[in-house]
Amino acid sequence: MRTLFPLDPAAGRTEPPAAGPWWLRPALLFDGEQIRSGMALRIESGRITAVVNATESLADGAPYWQSDYIACPAFVDLQVNGGGGRLFNNEPTSGALMAIAAAHRRGGTGAWLPTLLTSTPAVMEQAVEAVLEVYGHHGVAGIHIEGPHISPEFRGAHALELIRPYDGHTRAVLRRLRDRNIPVILTLAPELLPPGALRELVAMGVRVSIGHSGASERETRAALADGASLFTHLFNGMPPLNTKKAGMAGVALDSAACCGVIADGWHVDDTMLRLAVRAKRPSRALFAVTDAMPTVHGPPEFELYGAKIRLCEGKLIDARGSLAGVHIDMIGTLRRLVRDVDLPLETALAMVTSIPARAAGLDAEYGRLAANVRANVLLLDPGQLQARGLIVDGLVADRVLM
């Protein structure tokens, strides 16, 4: 006889078999492209093995979990500095990665790139060791190295004294990661690279993202021609839009390159975000990042480069009262995209799932609900836009998220 797993933990939720097979039958399913009704997912050994009409799921007699919520891919975040009171720069260890992952799971994130801000060579090496140790577990899907090869003028919160030219040390670190097939995003200022370096990075398999840069329109287009494929936190860490010159932001909007954007309401005005969505919509190349700091599901203060950063009325500020980081998780980002930016739910969901997965080359495993991908599934309350349950590699998370 088939078994029904109750969704409500207060009703005494019965866990599905670890290896499966079992079926998830949600009210609606967002597969990474569109919202569909009447669908079911077959989950076995941590992976999705079929996506079929719900009536077809009745045929094999496997147990099922009926849900009144939307099933969507667990969120994909390509820029996470910290969470749960831990900052990767301050603590480049596997233990910190596990704690940060746990914090962001509360916001529905199933795959993420630990992000290392501008740091010393020693810290960079420690961070790489940590990622090599944890990669493939706790949602760690690669690494994002943001700096140190950036423009001092557009460094933002990055430490000026740690900024340095691209060198053999960084090349060796990146080669070590790529030799292990670890996905890498490297944010840099292309105008400061030596000739040929960007093409070398791309040939190595590094995804080069233009950011914290003052590159001109010509320099930006040249970087894209050499293989740069991303822009880091659009409108931040770059010259502002200018009606007389396209500049970096104009090229980012005009190109087919993928652009990350922070949607916390502080870093980018919602009107500008709507304009960016319209500009990038034909190629579905705008995605959301949290760029999150330790205050996300953590205490309201932390230190960055020895300076105290605190949470004040929803934003992070330094001692001068200047903006100094991001305090938002992915479920909060989704709510803002729908409620404040006024995007259709399908568009917003793609910006936090399939588009970032594709931008980072992670879409074979993450960001979609399809056969042969990891069974990382979020159950989403469509009315409240709350994360109500999380399945990671086919296993129901310890608690339903609130």
As annotated, the active-site residues are 291
For residue 48, what are the β-bridge partners? 43
- Angle at 292 (CA atoms; ends 291, 294), nearest 5 degrees: 150
